Structure 1
């Protein structure tokens, strides 16, 4: 899905955070939102994902204006099209790996429901095969990142919103997570990543410097 923002501005607590940001995030690509700490990268990501409202400007998805979506329309967007990999992982630690992926269980939670084949594929692609019965609390930080991405793969989300995914990962998990994002985009999805990690930026097809006032640019080394 094509995600575009035109001149969006946001103030939080009376303080300007975003000022006339314009960018375009194309399907089949990864776009990096870059800038120094406090520049508004995460705020911009949350606006594009409809987690935060904008004060001025508009956001469109596949040409449809979504800026003024009400609560029900936002929930449908999150349910049908979007997935998030945020710094707090967005997981339920007390629940199993499988439940955190499918988000469906039988009455009283005795059995995880959902498409078993898709679940197996999501676990296999993220290196979590055989761990579906474990509580999410048993996973390391890198494994939790991969679990959040497994949920997006299972869901067949068309847009993935990612916030500082490698901030606390070791080298092995860092490489695996970047490769998973790259594969996700290569399957035709739109991947938008707020990051300060130069390795992720190098893996992206385009980048947008937050607070620069410039549209996202195509990276020469990925053309």
Structure 2
């Protein structure tokens, strides 16, 4: 899915965070949102993911204006098309790996439901096969990043929004996570990454420097 932002601006607490940001994020590649700390990378990512409203400008997805989506419309977008890998992983530590992927339980709330074949395939692709019944809280930081990606693979998300995915990872896990995101994009999905990691940036086919319009 093609995501476009045209002259979007955001102010938080009376302070301008984004000013007339314009970019295109194409399917099939990873787009990096880059810039120094505090420039608004995460804010821009949240706007593109419809987590945060914009004060000015427009956001379109496949040419359809989604800027003023109401709550129900945003929820449908998140349910049907989008997945998020956030800095805190968005993982529920007290639940199992399986539940964190499928987000579904049986009627009695005791067993993970959903498509077991799809679950197994998603975990295999991210190197977590055979760990369905482990508590997510026991996973390492790199494994939690991969678990969040397993969720996106399971739901067959069209768009993946990623915030500083390699910030706390060692070299081996960093490479594995970057390669997994690249493979996800290579299957025709749109991947947008907020990052300051040079290796992550090099893996992205497109870069957008956030905050250039704020420079004097």
The normalised TM-score by structure 2 is: 0.98
Task: Find the counterpart in structure 2 of residue 162 from structure 1.
Answer: 162
State the Cα deviation string for residues 85-115 of structure 1 (Å, max 9, x = none). 0001111111100010001110232110011
- Counterpart residue number, 1:190: 190
Aligned equivalents of 1:113 and 1:61: distance in 2?
Answer: 31
Partner residue, 2:91? 91
Q: Which residue of 2 aligns with 1:217?
A: none
Q: Tell me the C-alpha RMSD between the 2 structures.
A: 0.9
Q: Secondary structure at the match of 1:109?
A: coil
CA apart distance, 1:185: 0.3
| Structure 2: distance between partners of 1:170 and 1:97 | 22
Q: 1:211 and 2:207 equivalent?
A: no
Paired residues in the alignment total 214
Q: Is the 8 A contact 1:30 1:205 kept in 2?
A: yes
1:121 counterpart = 2:121: yes
Deviates more, 1:187-196 or 1:91-100: 91-100
State how 1:1-223 maps to structure 2 within 5 Å. Answer: 1-213=1-213
CA distance in 2, matches of 1:108, 1:55: 44
Q: Distance in 1 between matches of 2:131 and 2:171?
A: 22
CA displacement at 1:171 relative to structure 2: 1.0
The corresponding residue for 1:219 is none
State the secondary structure of the residue aligned to 2:17.
strand
1:169-189 deviation digits (Å, cap 9, x = unpaired): 011110100000000000000
Runs of at least 5 residues in structure 1 that lack an aligned partner in the other structure: 215-223
Secondary structure of the corresponding residue to residue 17 of structure 1: strand
Structure 1 stretches of 4+ moved >3 Å: none
Distance (whole Å) between structure 2 residues aligned to residue 135 and residue 79 of structure 1: 24
* 1:51 aligned counterpart, secondary structure: coil
- Normalised by the size of structure 1, how large is the TM-score? 0.95
- Cα separation, 2, equivalents of 1:130 and 1:117: 13
